[in-house]
Amino acid sequence: MKRLDTEILVVGGGATGTGVAWDASLRGFQVVLVEKRDLTHGTTGRYHGLLHSGGRYVVKDPVSATECIHENRILRKTHTHCIEDTSGFFVVTPEDEGEYPDKFVEGCAKTGVDCSEISLAAALRREPLLNPRVSRVFEVPDGSADSFLATHATAQAARQAGARILNYHEVIDLIIEGGGGPRVVGARVRDVVRDEEIEIRAAMVINATGAWANKITGMAGITISVVPGKGTMVAMSHRLTNTVLNRCKKPADGDIIVPVHTVAIIGTTDERVTDPENLRIEPWEVQLMLDEGERLIPGISKARVVRAWAGVRPLYQEDYAGASREATRQFALLDHKTRHNVAGFLTITGGKWTTFRLMAEKTVDKACEQLGTRKPCVTAETHVPGVEQGHYWLGHRLHEIEEDHLQGQLVCECELITRPMLEGAARQNPTLTLDDLRRDVRLGMGPCQGGWCTYRAVGIIHELGKAGVWSGEAGEQTAEAAEWAVAYAHSPKRHPGGVKASTDGAGAIPVLFNPNLLLHDFLQERWKGVTPILWGPQLKQERLDEMIYLCLLNVDHLPESALASPLTDFYLYDSTPNENLEAPK
Amino acid sequence: MIDVLVIGAGLSGLMTAYTAAQAGPLSVKVIAKGLGALHWGAGTVDLFGYSPTDHSRPIQRPLDFIGGWLAEEQPQHPYSILGVERVSAALAAFTALTAEVGLPYQGARTTGDNLLLPTAVGSARPTFLAPQAQIGGDLSREEPMLIVGFTGLRDFYPELVAENLSKLGHQARAAFLPLDLLTGRKDSNTVQQAQGMDDHIRRAGLAAALKKLARPGERVGLPPILGLNDHAAAWADVQAQLGAPVFEIPTLPPSVPGMRLFVALRDKLRQMGVRVEIGMEASSAAAASANGAAGHVEWVQSETSARPLKHYALNFVLATGGIMGGGFDSDHTGRVWEIVFDLPLTTPQQRSKWFRPAFVNPEGHPVYTGGVETDEHLQPVDRDGKLIYENLWVVGDLLANDNPLLQRSLEGAAVATGHAAGLLLARRQR
């Protein structure tokens, strides 16, 4: 069995895990991070993209609100290009009257969330589709975040500080040694791609698996009270608002619309579930999002819906059994030595994307304390690569394409992805499925949901493979190329020229890119996300995609159709609408 | 008043218009919201590719299948309603028509067999009739293939084509040529590239470049770029100058082969005095009915930017396409409706009954199988089998009880039902 030795082993490649790896490596620790799938495959990649101002929590959960505004200010500096400075409105609709608005203003003042009331006329000038029947509008510094890019950028910063990030590495078991009380001394990990086992020894194991936290603690015989809270989100095919729109009321289902890139996302439901893995989207949830969205933007439910998906919040509350919406959104750092007499093992869970850096800081502080070293956290003052691009703005890609006449290189007309962008992402980040590239460059995320770009991406990746990009002779990377890995993933202009594939991880990436498998997996992955919302124009679009892939390309009769990737079954999960049109009482 | 108003300018509508105008001869007008599905497809006539009972292997003799198993097991299928003789007659009429307009379509070497043609991913697709520029790809032939792509052309990947064809047991290899052989434009797709080949100097350049690549005995496969307006000459020129068979492999929309067919049929209709008016979305209709008898459609109204327009005719043909063509619309409640006459549909009116779990499902998604039911004259009937309008016909993808994309029968059904409806109209008006 292969063996790796490190000081800190981080389990989980979401915002929190990569944040911990970044923080710990900046403090001089040797760090290895393992993630069982692609980075952000879990909750981080499945949320609505809100950079919280804290406004949503000022009344109910003031500690969270204070954390949010504090981190909001920091992330705008450390992850500038991953954030769009959209600003946010809290609006009082006719359904939201009562005492809440005054409590909201008071709460903002107490928690330090910048809040100013603006006139309805001013709000409507900025957001003409906003419900004109709202009575009051408060502006707060909400933003929208690209959680894929931010996580990759954090991971890249960690790599530059010496961390090793191993995705598609799944923890099979923790290694526990006795003698003076049990101690976690590492983990047995399976490399899912090469199908081999690795033993990773570490002085400290940090469980940053969020809603999956119990699966890891269970390996040490510890049960913790993390409840997966499912949130369903619906993406509209247009950016119907440029400002985050929140209802000014106690947080509830469907009370927020976040503009992210080219779409507007209505979020969310909040349902306790038992399994964080396979999340079924119920028809009533989609309907509820659209009905509630109507209160913020009248007519929104008649607009085209492009996709629906669900993520799981990791809700931590000790001895708590109530509704998941009521659970605190604060994070929880669990020291298993004091709680369960298991040393060398920490769990960080709960919280939200906006507070990931703070969560990492507190976790690594605790690790320092236990490892007997004390180095200060520097992440609040350290930039991840790419921040000099400034805040994201919607016209960014189009601007670069027009400036540099890159129209001929477009492989996705919906999301303005150029061939070099796609190649750069495929070369730099271990890519097992096209879904991984989707997270990197937004492949297949536009209105046609992969109709054109799936075929093109498969063809391009196949050509890269033929050219020997993943042949195992990747060679040394230049510092510039290493930095590029994600910093400019969204920039059509700045792409690497002739960069070799990343060799991060255990050796070169194997050639398991079977083009026919990539094609099948991605078509099914896209299908899974559109079936809950297929009607009207999107159903027509889907039929056209069928015409392309069945009639024109005959992909259901390609050779090697029996091949499966580690994610094939995941994509095959049945997401077609069931008969649950009403919310359970 | 005109004899026939056809609503829809896809293959089924054009075929109806042509047949009625030719066989009547009747006065015909075509109105349509936009261009039909020809602009999206492969430009071939898929008749029946895969049986509902065995999706793994293509049907070898589709007409035998239609006259045999299908007639027996699925009597409500549009082909079964027509019967295999009417389907055969329609295909013969289509073949003759395409020859007449200078875009001849052909079948397999063994008459009655499905062709197997290479796709742009290198799979083998069954189809029944193909334009002659695609026939050279016939996979029943043994000649090795050289698949040529163009560096930077985003819609064609020759190495992928060659690799999959090789895996399927065909001899194929790939090569690249520079894109500027075809066009000087930076943002071109196959339509502009095909236009580039309308220029005989450019195609001489392409032929010369191909000559350096091709080995003796090879046939050469290209994306569909051999001319748009001057296609027949472009294809013949390149082939003659190269001295080897050249064939096209259709790729992503917009479909160059489909556009060629659309233009050829539209121009033919114009010559015959049939107006084809695009940009006219039929939105409503008026009908009179006398106590219990079938109704009589008086006019169809279209929306234009200026004003609504009423189109009067003696007879009406609905060829607006199914879900893909826009003839059906649907909403989140699960309602699916026909947009002009609100004809009764067999489509399930519950979203939970629309889909099966997998994108590629050999059984097909029920939402796509539903549609308008007709009598043997292609006239829509209600649930009790009673005629709804005595002067309305329905053709193409609107028809119930088939799944043309899954079965690979979209154009075959369009040609067959369009031709049959045209003949029925001609007979009636005579």
pLDDT at A320: 55
Query: Per residue in A57-89, pLDDT tens?
Result: 999 999 999 999 999 999 999 999 999 999 999
Torsion of CA B228, B232, B233, B236, to 10 degrees: 120
**Which of B123, B154, B322 is facing A411, going by the closest CB pair?**
B154
- List b or e across B54-84, with b for residues whose CB sees 16 or more CB atoms inside 10 angstroms: ebeebbebbbebbbeebbeebeebbbbbbbb
Query: Per residue in A105-128, pLDDT tens?
Result: 999 999 999 999 999 999 999 999
Please say whether the beta carbons of A546 and A251 come within 8 A: no
DSSP A44-86: GGGS--EE--SGGGTTT-HHHHHHHHHHHHHHHHHTGGGEE--
CA of B336 vs chain A CAs: smallest distance (Å): 9
A389-402 average pLDDT score: 94
Tallying the residues shown for chain A, one arrives at: 585
Least confident of A210-219, A365-374, A423-432: A423-432
The ipTM, to two decimals, is 0.97
pLDDT at A489: 84
Cα distance between the two ends of chain B = 16
Distance CA A373, CA B240 (A): 80
**Burial group, residue A61, by CB count within 10 angstroms (0-12, 13-18, 19+):** buried
Cβ atoms < 10 Å from Cβ of A281: 24
At residue A186, the 3 state secondary structure works out as strand
Distance CA B335, CA A66 (A): 47
**Burial group, residue B117, by CB count within 10 angstroms (0-12, 13-18, 19+):** buried
Kindly determine whether residue B40 and residue A466, on different chains, have CB atoms separated by under 8 Å.
Answer: no
Distance CA B424, CA B410 (A): 21
**CA A237, B360, B91 angle in degrees (round to 5)?**
100
Whole-number average pLDDT of chain B: 96
- List b or e across B147-165, with b for residues whose CB sees 16 or more CB atoms inside 10 angstroms: bbbbeebbbbbbbbbbbbb
Q: Give residue B17's identity as a one-letter amino acid code.
A: A
Distance CA A191, CA A507 (A): 12
Query: Per residue in B218-246, pLDDT tens?
Result: 999 999 999 999 999 999 999 999 999 99
CA of B368 vs chain A CAs: smallest distance (Å): 8
Torsion sign, CA atoms A495, A499, A500, A505 = negative
**Which of A456, A526, A560 is facing B154, going by the closest CB pair?**
A456
Give the strand pairing for A226-236 and A305-316. Answer: antiparallel
Q: Does A567 have pLDDT greater than 50?
A: yes
Distance CA A56, CA A76 (A): 19
Query: Any chain B CB within 8 A of the CB of A523?
Result: yes
Chain A residue nearest residue B349, CA to CA: A535
Q: Does B62 have pLDDT greater than 80?
A: yes
Please say whether the beta carbons of B295 and B289 come within 8 A: yes
Query: Per residue in A428-441, pLDDT tens?
Result: 776 788 999 999 89
Query: Any chain B CB within 8 A of the CB of A70?
Result: no
Query: Omega before B178 cis (within 30°)?
Result: no
pLDDT at A508: 44
Kindly determine whether residue A539 and residue B367, on different chains, have CB atoms separated by under 8 Å.
Answer: yes
Kindly determine whether residue A536 and residue B55, on different chains, have CB atoms separated by under 8 Å.
Answer: no
Kindly determine whether residue B159 and residue A407, on different chains, have CB atoms separated by under 8 Å.
Answer: no
- The β-bridge partners of A245 are A89, A257
Please say whether the beta carbons of A350 and A314 come within 8 A: yes
Substitution target from A541, A551, A569, A579 for chain B, most B beta carbons within 10 A:
A551
Least confident of A488-497, B114-123, B344-353: A488-497
Least confident of A70-74, A140-144, B34-38: B34-38
Distance CA A90, CA A58 (A): 12
Q: Does A474 have pLDDT greater than 50?
A: no
Query: Per residue in B188-203, pLDDT tens?
Result: 899 999 999 999 999 9
Residues 525-544 (A) with a CB less than 8 A from some CB of B: 526-527, 531, 533-536, 539-540, 543-544
Distance CA A376, CA A51 (A): 26
Query: Any chain B CB within 8 A of the CB of A468?
Result: no
Distance CA B114, CA B85 (A): 17
pLDDT at A475: 46
Kindly determine whether residue B351 and residue A535, on different chains, have CB atoms separated by under 8 Å.
Answer: yes
**Residue A510 DSSP code:** P
Tokens of A353: 């994307």
Query: Per residue in B283-326, pLDDT tens?
Result: 999 998 877 789 999 999 998 777 899 999 999 999 999 999 99
Cα distance between the two ends of chain A = 52
CA of A366 vs chain B CAs: smallest distance (Å): 46
A249-273 average pLDDT score: 93
pLDDT at B306: 79
Please say whether the beta carbons of B130 and B157 come within 8 A: no
Chain A residues near residue B47 by CB distance under 8 angstroms: none
Kindly determine whether residue B330 and residue A544, on different chains, have CB atoms separated by under 8 Å.
Answer: no
pLDDT at A478: 62
Query: Any chain B CB within 8 A of the CB of A558?
Result: yes
The residue behind tokens 């809950």 is: A532
**Burial group, residue A250, by CB count within 10 angstroms (0-12, 13-18, 19+):** middle
Output the 3-class SS for A102-159. HHHHHHHHHHCCCCEEECHHHHHHHCCCCCCCCCEEEEECCEEECHHHHHHHHHHHHH
A360-369 average pLDDT score: 97
pLDDT at A227: 86
Please say whether the beta carbons of A490 and A392 come within 8 A: yes
Kindly determine whether residue B160 and residue A458, on different chains, have CB atoms separated by under 8 Å.
Answer: yes
pLDDT interval class at A497 (50, 70, 90): low
**Residue B339 DSSP code:** T
Chain B residues near residue A463 by CB distance under 8 angstroms: 157, 159-160
Query: Any chain B CB within 8 A of the CB of A295?
Result: no
What proportion of chain A, given as a percentage, has pLDDT over 90?
A: 75
Q: Does A573 have pLDDT greater than 50?
A: yes
Chain A residues near residue B58 by CB distance under 8 angstroms: 557
- The β-bridge partners of A410 are A418
Substitution target from B337, B351, B407 for chain A, most A beta carbons within 10 A:
B351
Query: What beta strand segments (E) does B35-128 contain?
Result: 50-51, 54-58, 105-106, 115-118, 124-127
Residues 400-419 (A) with a CB less than 8 A from some CB of B: 405, 407-411, 419
Distance CA A189, CA A169 (A): 6
**Residue A418 DSSP code:** E
Closest-CA residue to B19 (of B430, B414, B418) = B418
Residues 273-292 (A) with a CB less than 8 A from some CB of B: 283, 286-287, 290
Query: Any chain B CB within 8 A of the CB of A459?
Result: yes
Query: What beta strand segments (E) does B254-308 contain?
Result: 275-278, 281-288, 296-303
Tokens of B342: 């609100």
What proportion of chain A, given as a percentage, has pLDDT over 70?
A: 93
Helix/strand/coil percent split, chain B, to 5: 35, 25, 40
Least confident of A128-132, A463-467, A530-534: A463-467
What proportion of chain B, given as a percentage, has pLDDT over 70?
A: 100
Chain A residue nearest residue B121, CA to CA: A553
A276-303 average pLDDT score: 93
A285-302 average pLDDT score: 95
Query: Any chain B CB within 8 A of the CB of A564?
Result: no
Query: Per residue in A159-181, pLDDT tens?
Result: 999 999 999 999 999 999 987 78
Size of interface A-B (CB pairs under 8 A): 169
Distance CA B226, CA B136 (A): 14
The residue behind tokens 């050279």 is: B136
Chain A residues near residue B40 by CB distance under 8 angstroms: 544, 547-548, 552
Closest-CA residue to B63 (of B41, B92, B38) = B92
CA of B318 vs chain A CAs: smallest distance (Å): 18
Q: Give residue B226's identity as a one-letter amino acid code.
A: L
Query: Any chain B CB within 8 A of the CB of A382?
Result: no
CA of B69 vs chain A CAs: smallest distance (Å): 22
Query: Per residue in B345-403, pLDDT tens?
Result: 999 999 999 999 899 888 899 999 999 999 999 999 999 999 999 999 999 999 999 99
Kindly determine whether residue B123 and residue A553, on different chains, have CB atoms separated by under 8 Å.
Answer: yes
Chain B residue nearest residue A543, CA to CA: B324
pLDDT interval class at A319 (50, 70, 90): low
pLDDT at B203: 95
B69-76 long-range CB contacts below 8 Å, 24 or more apart?
B74/B401, B76/B373, B76/B400, B76/B401
Query: Any chain B CB within 8 A of the CB of A460?
Result: yes
